Chains A and B, each alone.
Chain A
Amino acid sequence: MRLRVNGQDHDVDVPEDMPLLWVLRDVLSLTGTKFGCGMAQCGACTVHVGDGPARSCVLPIGAVGDRAVTTIEGLSSGGLHPVQQAWIDEDVVQCGYCQPGQVMAAAALLKAKPRPTDADIDAALSANLCRCGTYQRIRAAVHRAAGQTGGRS
């Protein structure tokens, strides 16, 4: 099966029902995308498939088709993505395990809505759990990144 990840094509020999998450992690060694729940409840596995966010833990690789997959490793080709920079500036992370998923979800939100309201952020990011409770800073960081990305999207 052929899979396009972060701009590179890969031929992978795996069953069609294998979730994208485990192809990324166990076959392609792209471990930035995390396993948290296995049932699309926590968002730690969030990647972009095509233009939108997807929970890779429940997405069979056979359903990806020819859509391009972007993971945290491929979010920004040169330097940090504005969302990543905003996360650093707002001192968001704690344990950090959920944060690649949070960053991917936030980047997808800003692509769709360059100037999100708090309600937009709630709607887009409430599916991403953080057990350390960094939500207040996540919200601030999304707004900060929106300020930086607003002009270019």
Chain B
Amino acid sequence: MSATGISRRTFLRASAEAAGALTIAFYAGPLAAQEGPAAAPKPLPDPNAFLRIAPDGTVTVVLSHAEMGQGMWTGLVMLLAEELDLDWSKLQVEHAPVAAVYAHPFFGIQMTGGSTSIASEFDRYRQVGALARTLLVQAAAQKWGVPVADCRAVKGEVIAGSRRASYGELAAAAAALPRPATVTLKPRSSWTVIGTPHKRLDSRAKVTGQAGFGMDVHFPGLHTALVARSPYFGGKVKRVDGAPALKVPGVRAVVQVPSGVAVVADNFWAAKLGRAALDVEWDPGDGGAIDTTELARSYRALAGQPGAVKAKAAGDIAAAMKTAAHVVEAEYDLPYLAHAPMEPLNCTVRITAGKCEIWTGTQLQTVDQGTAAEITGLKPEQVEIHTQFLGGGFGRRATPTSDFVREAVQVAKAANLPVKTVWTREDDIHGGYYRPQFFHKVKVGLDAQGAPVAWQHMLVGQSFLIGTPFEGMVKNGVDPTAVEGVFDSAYLADVPNHLVEHHAPRSPVTTLWWRSVGHSHTGFVMETMIDELAKAAGQDPLAYRRVRLAKHARHLGALELATAKAGWGTPPPRGRFRGLAVHESFNSYVAQVAEVSVDAGRIRVHRVVCAIDCGTAVNPAGVAAQLESAVVFGLSAALHGEITFREGRVQQSNFHDYPPLRLHEMPVVEVHIVPSTEKPSGVGEPGVPPIAPAVANAVFAATGKRLRRLPLRLA
């Protein structure tokens, strides 16, 4: 049992090959992407796990990935529908239960993340559709005594000449047929669904209030709990008196759990009043002294020492730096960030004899299942998870420690009641699992033509893998989620002498992947530094990047499309200034041009032109929506986002002091997709990294000031 709580043994028991598979996936997406064609052919999926056809013709598609806004409720269905022509009016979609058959094809456990849902399911959901079509057509051919070649599956029916039968009429016979060992997928030239914009299938439920989020779970006898947690990271309950809470009408129980003290009540309001009435004294532990200013100072000091880990090294960096024509040096500060999904964390648990039922929005079912099994003493298969719509995830609902599910199971067990444990917004903002604070120190030597000949890059920031079940992703001491975007940067590939180092200081502050993970800070540093180098070389930022990326066709493709659409090289509207960035993440390539004005020190973003190369764009409408979303998510952090500490306490608490972007700040966002026949790659996250540097570079164009800390502030 590690400090983070999860037992490695349990995790491994719950998911046999998890660690190895995860190593491939999160870290080196490229390996995962190459896996398809290179690997030995896998057996075809069991269509019954992913598709049900009712006698009335209703087709239910079962999703192995959770819908958290990113559009899997639509995208995965499109993959299946490409092979099995559906009557969309008879379509139903649902989240899968937790079971081995739904394991992520790249990662080996059931989960949603890493911008991999479409990429990883591209073959499987098409195969399910093709299998079903093959069997339905065979069933019809047998029924009518006609050749299979005379039968076509069209919009929920199999048709042969004047005969027709619905999928529902044929389903029972089709299910009894032997399954073929292989199926032939439609060639790209015959696609009618993939690549065609499709509107979302969950819209109606979501605009009428009928969509079921974890927060909305209710059944007779269900109680609501709020947990009083230490205001200090690593703090513990020193003394608690639950009596004042128990006097609040509606409060049923006060129970202690490892994370704090839970007040269990008939409803949220009673639980909230009860929690406020609790008399708790905390032992702050190691977290009582955490201070943001001090942390930045210590990170800066650490950066002056040789890195604990060489993430990448080539050539003689010191000698190359001495002979460089120019040397550019810069330091960057990036804050802790909260995910702050709109739906506060929550998890409903009902433990009965031989069964533990969980209702929640989660990105990590297999790990949650193993955690609940460990706490309840049940077998993993006795733990059922009813995945609900996620009111935003952004990584927060994928904790390797299963923090919010773990706590909810502990509360339900201690209270011996069915309980929905709910977090308030304050609990969420104070609750950790932040994007780690980072410090970068970068020194680049240029030759007389302005080309980098030496690049020295030091990163200081916590690892959220070390000490968790995901530690297997750390290779040779390098935490890829900390240095991705630097050590694998296209810019470094051609720099003969380079050195990337990382210090991973330990802290009681819990940290986690946050939409685009390491790229959320490395994209900012790399793309603002490249702008500085262009300036030092006396070159246009686009022209400079073109030369640096000459051998990187997909970077260039995105760059050329975005800049052409943005009118780079033409005068911007009066009072506005342009900035540019291009960054690869999750095997996709995104370029953005931001158009910005600065008025009395206030940065205003008016327009953002995006271009993405994500390989085959399965749902172009979904790709556009995700890029718009990524721009807003990234701008929220670039302009406003910051979690700070004083005397061990988080200084922000709710949306008034941790403000996401609001409607009146929304720029016009245009999205252009680079045509591609490559396999699909990431979409949900790759739009985030370029926006902060594009805006910072535009601010430089406007003011001549280089902003090297986030959030961007001119004062």
Contact = CB atoms under 8 A, between A and B. Distances in A.
B268 A26 contact: yes
Interface in B592-637: 621, 625, 628-633, 636
A128 B204 CA distance: 20
B506 interface: no
Contact of A32 (B210, B628, B629, B632): B210
B662 interface: yes
Nearest to B420: A26
Contacts, number: 183
A112 interface: no
Nearest to B389: A96
Interface string A34-51: 111111011010000000
B207 interface: yes
B269 A22 contact: yes
Given A18-B269, A33-B209, A38-B424, A136 B392 contact: no
A103 B207 contact: yes
B450 interface: no
The residue in B68, B209, B425 that gathers the most chain A C-beta atoms within 10 A of its C-beta is B209
A31 B268 contact: no
Contacts of A137: 625, 628
A43 to B, nearest CB: 10
Contacts of A136: 628, 666, 668-669
B425 A94 contact: no
A121 B207 contact: no
A64 interface: no
Interface string A102-138: 0100000000000000000111011111111111111
A44 B666 CA distance: 18
B311 interface: no
B712 to A, nearest CB: 18
Nearest to A23: B269
A133 B628 contact: yes
A27 B250 CA distance: 12
B38 interface: no
Interface in B198-215: 199-200, 202-211, 213, 215
Contact of B203 (A37, A73, A91, A98): A91
State which size class the interface on A falls in.
35 or more
B206 A31 contact: no
A139 interface: yes
A15 B654 CA distance: 26
Contacts of A26: 218, 224, 266-269
Interface in A41-94: 41-42, 44, 71-73, 80, 84, 87-88, 91-94
Interface in B387-427: 389-394, 422, 424-426
A131 B660 contact: yes
A71 B203 CA distance: 18
Contacts of B218: 26, 29, 31
B42 interface: no
A92 B68 contact: no
A133 B215 contact: no
A97 B209 contact: no
Given A73-B209, A100-B207, A133-B628, A95 B342 contact: yes
Interface in B661-683: 661-664, 666, 668-669
A92 B236 CA distance: 44
B656 A138 contact: no
A94 B209 contact: no
Contacts of B393: 95
B268 A35 contact: yes
B473 to A, nearest CB: 27
Interface in B227-263: 249
B131 interface: no
Given A26-B269, A32-B208, A93 B660 contact: no
B670 to A, nearest CB: 10
Contacts of B202: 93, 96
Contacts of B632: 130, 132-133, 135
Contacts of B224: 26
A22 B663 contact: no
B123 interface: no
B341 interface: yes
A44 B204 contact: no
Contact of B392 (A30, A80, A95): A95
B340 interface: yes
A66 B205 CA distance: 30
Contacts of B630: 133
Contacts of A93: 200, 202-203, 206-207
Nearest to B661: A133
B343 A97 contact: yes
A138 B207 contact: no
A29 B212 CA distance: 12
B374 interface: no
A100 B664 contact: no
Contacts of A133: 628-633, 661, 666
B655 interface: yes
A149 to B, nearest CB: 15
Contacts of B116: none
Nearest to A98: B342
A93 B200 CA distance: 8
A15 B625 contact: no
A83 to B, nearest CB: 8
Contacts of A31: 209, 215-216, 218
Given A31-B209, A134-B629, 17 more contacts: A26-B224, A32-B208, A36-B343, A36-B344, A39-B655, A72-B208, A80-B208, A87-B207, A91-B625, A94-B69, A95-B68, A95-B69, A130-B632, A131-B660, A132-B629, A134-B628, A135-B662
Interface of B: 67-71, 199-200, 202-211, 213, 215-216, 218, 224, 249, 266-269, 340-344, 389-394, 422, 424-426, 621, 625, 628-633, 636, 654-656, 660-664, 666, 668-669
13 contacts: A31-B216, A32-B210, A35-B268, A39-B656, A41-B655, A87-B203, A93-B207, A97-B341, A100-B206, A127-B662, A129-B660, A131-B342, A135-B662
Interface of A: 14-15, 18-19, 22, 25-27, 29-39, 41-42, 44, 71-73, 80, 84, 87-88, 91-100, 103, 121-123, 125-139
A-B interface, 10 closest residue pairs, ranked by CB to CB distance from nearest: A32-B209, A133-B632, A97-B391, A96-B206, A95-B69, A94-B69, A72-B209, A26-B267, A31-B216, A135-B666
